[in-house]
Amino acid sequence: MSSPPPAAAGHLVLDAEALYRELLHGVRALMAPATRLAGIASGGAWLAERLQKDLGLPGAPGVLSSALHRDDFAQRGLSASAQTTLPFDVEGADILLLDDVLYTGRTLRAVLNELFDYGRPARVRLAVLVDRGGRELPVQADFAAARVALPPTQSLALARDAQGHFHFQIKGA
């Protein structure tokens, strides 16, 4: 696991591509022959898609949307994020969920509810690019490429360019 990234002039510096390589190494260690990847829309889905390819896994990874199970649905409504697509049978499956940033745990709670709408997996684990702490629910990642501390007024999200390279967007004060 990486140590927190260095600060440059008081600003957090995160190399998303370096963290992706760390995630690839960590996910490889978590994989069993029957493990299926599923990414949380949208950053986690991008990670799952790239990991599926880089690990040489057949087929496509799953994508899970939290939209219908969010506890703030009344405020957010249906977002423009991807819809849930699971190209494998969830019942009895060994599933590795992927997300870009783990923060309060509320998105993960919603995604688990969505996943269980499709069946009862044998095991569900979580790998994230960044764990930023600040949990409101008892959730932890089985693997985090980095752990960083950000003030609650800031948000951190994975973005990708036209070539598929990852970078982070940090918003807020």
Instruction: Convert the pLDDT of each residue in 92-138 to its tens digit.
Output: 999 999 999 999 999 999 999 999 999 999 999 999 999 999 999 99
pLDDT(27) > 80: yes
Going by C-alpha positions, the residue among 111, 80, 75, 106 that lies closest to residue 95 is 111
CATH for 12-74+82-172 is 3.40.50.2020
Structural domain spans, the chain: 12-74+82-172
Q: Which residues contact 1 (CB under 8 A, 6 or more apart)?
A: 22, 26, 143, 144, 145, 146, 147
Helix (H) or strand (E) holding 27: helix 16-30
**Bond prior to 66 in cis (omega within 30° of 0):** no
